[in-house]
Structure 1
């Protein structure tokens, strides 16, 4: 991994930082979890989703979000609602602290009374709304108006710490996230980096299963150390021979008979035939699996081939 910094001198990112950005956006746009608030640019609908998501798993939020918007489809409708009805909805759907419902109702009234029903587009102005803190204001500005800064939540901190060894320091995370986000792309970027933290780089990482786009640059993937600010104990499975053996079996099961140099990159993205994680390393793993009666390894026409033992 390169020690060179992007312009700005952080030292966190590789020389080809544009490739890092492109890889993440392409990964996200090719396939991501479908949530209805990702299909809208309506600031009111996005604010409702952000407030609901603060204490509730996203899969549970979907139904509540649809029902809330069926009851109060616009910010004007919510502002005109009886506050007790809004709080009652919140309680009946187990959406966390009731004061969030009260704040959301009051924020709607502010938008109607102070902004003529049109949400402000700047994060600083959005933060003036009742109950809207810096994170929520930035999320609404990003997802509704493509006008936000880099979002930094627990998932993003975990990703930056693991991938680029950004130290566990709020100021460092803010600066690193700001430098890494492409200019004028807060909507897709913030969605993508949070998706990465939620799908591929959770507390228990799923680097290969989720086809993480940053494996080629990732410090944690390279070293096997997946500790993070919210993951104080390194998962013993990550980077272990047991994990690598599992990847071999999975690749051979999916693709059939493979040569060493075709199998290697499917086991480690940084496979290098003559390197530390190269042919000798792979042959050692295959020998273990052969001893266990799981694979067969043979020489044929000058190539070493491996296949599952059936």
Structure 2
């Protein structure tokens, strides 16, 4: 690929590197709702949402604004009941994140009088707040000196510094943070960090970047940016089958299961059974979804042939049909249940 030659060492001319990046951002930076606020609570919500979800999804499907409408501040979030909390987060997945957000809100109230601390050490003591989130809060909410390292920043830095070791190894992450702190702008942290992250999102993209449009191309040492960053080998994806039961009683109610465990605790879904128990029943719906390292094929079986007094299992209850879709559910089951309700 065509790439402008390296001319300047970013570590030796840090001011020039910052100015080039910030100048580009001042003309090209995108307008996101969390960039229009200095409220640390609103910035925290955006950061946690974006940890596992793309910006286009968070904005396009209204997750960010909808969540803030339901829980506009730390006080409302701190007292949120599980059902309402999970419903507001529905569709984003990784539900442990929103429960941890509630714990963060509670700690801000009980330990800091409802105001977010500004010191890095105090921020990192909040539940669920690590080094990146603490730096993001300091920089974006308080405009205080801070460094941030996420996937976009690691990709930019690995290419700028021509770093060919694994960026997601302990040594690699240590190096990324060291460079991020050296290059960080102590005078304009909010602008600089936003610019660095957006550069990774839009220009210094995964795969083949747009080097000809890059504002810091002359500071970039690598000659083969498409080969960087180097990461540890991905975990193999395992295919699994999930067999769910679609069953309605004489009153038209739907049998649902409320989940336990850490990943989906409190969410509702169709009851599942071992394949040998219900695989002989007709299949009404087949869909697939991915969760962590699993590729799941979900089959919903018609339970109409089962006895009408079919005994529910543990944590399984009959729910009035008109109330089903108001419950918080994992997205794969919501889609299946929605289709089956329309067809029945």
Scaled by the length of structure 1, the TM-score of the pair is: 0.65
**After superposition, what is the alpha-carbon deviation per residue over 1:280-304, rounded to whole angstroms, capped at 9, x for unaligned?**
xxxxxxxxxxxxxxxxxxxxxxxxx
Question: 1:204 and 2:203 equivalent?
Answer: no
Using CA pairs under 8 Å that are at least 6 residues apart, name the structure with larger relative contact order, 1 or 2: 2
Aligned to 1:66: 65
Match of 2:216 among 214, 226, 237: 214
How many Å apart are 1:164 and its aligned residue?
A: 2.5
**After superposition, what is the alpha-carbon deviation per residue over 1:228-249, rounded to whole angstroms, capped at 9, x for unaligned?**
12579xxxxxxxxxxxxxxxxx
Aligned to 2:195: 192
Kindly indicate whether the alpha-carbon contact (under 8 Å) linking 1:122 and 1:148 is maintained by their aligned counterparts in 2: no
Larger strand fraction of residues: 2
Question: 1:229 and 2:229 equivalent?
Answer: yes
Aligned to 1:241: none
**After superposition, what is the alpha-carbon deviation per residue over 1:209-258, rounded to whole angstroms, capped at 9, x for unaligned?**
6x2101222223xx2443212579xxxxxxxxxxxxxxxxxxxxxxxxxx
Q: Matched residues in 1 for 2:78 and 2:208: separation?
A: 42
How many Å apart are 1:122 and its aligned residue?
A: 1.6
1:137-216 superposed matches below 5 A: 137-166=134-163, 168=165, 169-208=172-211, 211-216=213-218
Aligned to 2:98: 101
SS at match of 1:226: helix
Aligned to 2:309: none
Scaled by the length of structure 2, the TM-score of the pair is: 0.59
Kindly indicate whether the alpha-carbon contact (under 8 Å) linking 1:21 and 1:182 is maintained by their aligned counterparts in 2: yes
Aligned to 1:127: 124
**After superposition, what is the alpha-carbon deviation per residue over 1:187-213, rounded to whole angstroms, capped at 9, x for unaligned?**
11111111111110011344256x210
Larger helix fraction of residues: 1
Q: Matched residues in 2 for 1:197 and 1:149: separation?
A: 18
Kindly indicate whether the alpha-carbon contact (under 8 Å) linking 2:118 and 2:142 is maintained by their aligned counterparts in 1: yes
Tell me: CA distance 1:39–1:229, structure 2 relative to 1, closer, same or farther (3 Å). Answer: same
How many Å apart are 1:16 and its aligned residue?
A: 3.6
1:7-156 superposed matches below 5 A: 13=10, 15-62=12-59, 63-90=62-89, 92=90, 94-156=91-153
Aligned to 2:285: none
The CA RMSD measured in Å over matched residues stands at 2.2
Q: Matched residues in 1 for 2:109 and 2:12: separation?
A: 48
Tell me: CA distance 1:64–1:19, structure 2 relative to 1, closer, same or farther (3 Å). Answer: same
Q: Any unmatched runs of 5+ in structure 1? A: 4-11, 233-310
Kindly indicate whether the alpha-carbon contact (under 8 Å) linking 2:145 and 2:186 is maintained by their aligned counterparts in 1: no
Kindly indicate whether the alpha-carbon contact (under 8 Å) linking 1:122 and 1:147 is maintained by their aligned counterparts in 2: no
